[in-house]
Amino acid sequence: MRSGSVLNAAFPILLALLVASPALAAERVVDGKAKACSDKGTGTEKRPWCRLAAAGTRARPGDRVLIRGVYRERLVIRVSGTKAAPIVYEGTPDGKTALDGTGLKLDEEGMIDIEKRDHITLRRLTIKHSPWYAMNVSGCRGVVIEKCGVLRSLHGGIVVDEGSSDIQLTGNDVRGVNAKGPDTAIHEAITISNVRRFVVAGNHVHHAPKEGIDAKDGSSDGEIRDNVVEHLGKVGIYLNHATRVKVFGNKIHGNGYSGIQLAVGDYAMGPRVTAQNDIYRNLIWSNGYNGVQFWQEKAGELRDNRLYNNVLYGNKHWGVLLEGTSGNTIKNNIIAKNGHAGIGGDAAARSTITHNLFFANRGDETRGKNAVTRDPQLANPARADFSLKPTSPAIDAGARVGLPFKGKAPDIGAFERR
């Protein structure tokens, strides 16, 4: 048979496949002010969609949806992307794309709401004045939220829950949320609830009356890193019923309660275990209660967590307070000028405490083994520079904990000098 005959024979099959297949991934546009906009259109530059509702329903895997302008409506995403071809919803580079919830009524919903949909990316979107949550991600996989702004939602800011997995929240600014009040608002500024495999990194969480970043209700196998968490009414970073979470590289200061709290509380859901978490290389200073607090309410297991190579400076009460816990390891921390003792609490004797530096704390403290009790010679604490001067006694005075080091032994504190 000649090649032309083969092509002729195959043409009907190819045509049928093309007709049956969805539209190819494309650049889509939402622009409610465009004269030619239509929610029945294809979302092209020449004929964009008018409303977010069309984008949430009609976008397809691999589409990049550019949203222009300010919208007094929710974005409810009803279509999944794929791992190879996520759906991206993106604001304009000038940062002026926003969803404004003023005057809307919600009930445990988000201005952006994703439920049981996978592989969605949200980028450069601002959500303000939500009457409930700003963003709600429930039962989803592969959701990325990056470089978004959240301003003054009545309840939580970004809430991820209900068995979601493989979540990334990076570079977001979350402020003024939980405006309903510290004892009334539901969830926290950033909530990770019953989530497996997550990264919360490089966010600025600030000026709100409740907790900042909370991994809870059975969340596991995640990272909370390189965030700035400041000027909150309660705890900066909270692990409550969470396991195998790494908390590192964060700057946590000026919060009303403890900088970091590891807890097993009676009102959290999921397995009552907070264990095998690593807290390291954080700067935790000038918080209204403790630097780090271990706290167990009643039933449950709070155990086998590691706290190492942090700086806990100038917090109003304890540097580290241990209550209702056991089997923890506390090494290589600089604990200085806290309003009460450096390390203490009824469970201090049930933890391994070694190679920490204590200086100018007030009150009796548990120093453990190999303690250094001299001025750490920090570069400029008044300007939040907690690096070590060349003559610091913390240099080469630490124990090996698995972090890279440059001298004869690891330095104590969050920075390697040499």
* pLDDT, tens digit (0-9, with 9 covering 90-100), for 385-417: 999 999 999 999 999 999 999 999 999 999 998
Predicted local distance difference test score (pLDDT) of residue 198: 99
Q: How confident is the model at residue 24 (pLDDT cuts 50, 70, 90)?
A: low
Is 94 inside any structural domain?
Answer: yes
How does pLDDT run across 191-234, given as a tens digit for each residue? 999 999 999 999 999 999 999 999 999 999 999 999 999 999 99
Write out the DSSP string of 360-399: S--S-----BS-B-S---EEEGGGTEEEEPTT-TTTT-S-
Question: Domain of 126: which CATH number?
Answer: 2.160.20.10
Residues 147-162 have a mean pLDDT of 98
- CA angle, residues 169, 172, 99, in degrees to nearest 5: 105
Tokens representing residue 41 in the block: 């259109």
Give, in order, the Cα–Cα distances in Å from 303 to each of 148, 194, 284, 342.
Answer: 35, 19, 22, 20
Q: For residue 403, tell me if it sits in a domain.
A: no
Q: What per-residue confidence (pLDDT) applies to 398?
A: 98
Q: Kindly state the DSSP code that residue 13 receives in the 8-state scheme.
A: H
- Residue type for 318, please? W
Counting the structural domains of the chain, the total is: 1
Q: For the chain, what percent of residues have pLDDT higher than 90?
A: 90
Mean pLDDT of 161-176: 98
Does residue 144 belong to any structural domain of this protein?
yes
Asked whether residue 412 is domain-assigned, the answer is: no
Q: 90 with 67: CB under 8 angstroms?
A: yes
At residue 16, the pLDDT reads 39
pLDDT of 268 reads 74
Contacts of 22 (CB under 8 A, 6+ apart): 60
Residue 4, pLDDT above cutoff 80: no
Q: Give a yes or no: residue 387 inside a domain.
A: no
194 within a domain of the structure (yes/no): yes
72-107 pLDDT tens trace:
999 999 999 999 999 999 999 999 999 999 999 999
Count CB neighbours of 262 within 10 A: 28
Query: Residue 176: inside a domain, yes or no?
Result: yes
Question: Rounded to whole angstroms, how far apart are CA atoms 61 and 26?
Answer: 9
Domain span holding position 51:
25-329
Could you tell me if residue 81 is inside a domain? Answer: yes
